Amino acid sequence: MVRKTFVFVIVLSVALLALAACQPQTVEVTRVVTEVETVTEEVEVPVEVTRVVTEVQTETVVEEVPVEVAVEVEKAPLGSEERPIKVLFVPSVEVDAIITGGEVMAAALEEATGFKYEVVVPTSYAATIEEMCASPDDTIGFIPAQGYVLANERCGVTVGAAAVRFGLSWYAAQYVVPFDSDAQTVADLDGKSWCIPDYGSTSGYLYPSVEFLNLGIEPGEIIEAGSHNNAMLGVYNGDCDFGTAFFSPPLLPNYERNWTFGVDDPEIWRDAGEEPVRNEEGRTFVAGGPDEGGYRILDARSSVSDTAPDIFSQTRILALTDKIPNDTVSFGPEFPLSLANDIVNALVDFTASDACLQSICSEEFYNWTGIEPVPDRDYDPVRALMSALGITEEDVFGDN
């Protein structure tokens, strides 16, 4: 019975389906639209990130920079023990003689002025000038004419006085050759080796150089001997063919007259027929002193006649240059004027004293017999010669 019922239901269902298929149908279609909604959700996701970090480090560097600060330093009084007046001598003769004689002069100046003095002998003419320029308010310089002109141009050094030698305010340069040299005139020195005291020497270099220039003479090797003494010994020892140094004229018998420039022979004393002799006081005489009817020799060779007693028989004076203004007593550019005048006056008295014979009046020293005030214009001829030769500060001091 159940089976018949199940079959009947199936048949009925099929019939209904067939009937429905034959009828027009309205079908409602439902579209299902799925909308996608974007939802933003914060989610912590571990992510490995590589970051490039530039680290700027600021470093503070403290650098010590020397700063010149003008500090007013109170100087000791000029002429005191702490700050003596410096007396500078060019090394034109033996340094030992300068120091010994300089101390004698310093003592006399101290007694006359009440100030303290220090004797200084720099290594060269140029070094002497440099020292005066470096210490402008406390230096005195005993410097030759060319040295003074250079110092005046370089830093304003002023001249206070000039030397006097036996009444003369001038001297000259002498050309000295071996006695048996074949040279008879200055022109014969062309190409010959030459001993000079120093390139800053007026008589030893400047005046002969100008004469060579005017005559068209070119000497050979130039040997800087370091002093007038050494230049003369250079000729004596055969180190050079000729040498130049200072010449002061000889004193004549009985002081009857002065030696005359351009007229008398520079070696007029040879007429006596006797060899020069140096006495214990360091003076060089021929046939006795002038007060004994003889001669006194004053040229540069007399300073070394104790070292080379026969230098006058082994050498001779070939010729002389023109007259040269005597050496100076000069003062630093800022030296107190009133004190400079006092020192010049004291030096005038000193050169008239016996003590000077152991100092600047000695033949071994500068052979001065006095000093006299001179103006700067007296050295204009030296300036002219330096200009003609083209000598400048750079030639003497270099680039310093």
Domains defined along the chain, listed by start: 85-167+326-397 (3.40.190.10), 170-324 (3.40.190.10)
- State pLDDT tens for residues 251-267: 999 999 999 999 999 99
For residue 299, the SS3 value is coil
In the block, residue with structure tokens 């001249």: 159
For residue 117, the SS3 value is strand
The residues facing 120 across adjacent strands are 88
Contact 195, 228 (CB under 8 A): no
- State pLDDT tens for residues 143-177: 999 999 999 999 999 999 999 998 898 999 999 99
What is the Cβ-side half-sphere exposure of residue 100, based on CA atoms within 13 angstroms? 11
The C-alpha atoms of residue 152 and residue 163 are separated, in whole angstroms, by: 18
Residue 62, both tokens: 């403290």
- CA dist list (Å): 279 to 198, 229, 291, 302, 305: 29, 18, 15, 11, 10
For 110-157, list the strands marked E by DSSP: 117-120, 139-143
38 DSSP 8-state letter: P
Contact 141, 150 (CB under 8 A): no
Does residue 121 come out as left (phi exceeding 0), alpha (psi in the -120 to 50 range) or beta?
beta
Spans of the chain, pLDDT less than 50: 1-43, 45, 47, 49-58, 60-61, 65
305 DSSP 8-state letter: T
pTM, entire model:
0.72
* pLDDT at residue 139, rounded to an integer: 98
Distance from first CA to last CA of the chain, Å, rounded?
148
Helix 145-155 and helix 380-389: axis angle, to 10°?
80
367 DSSP 8-state letter: -
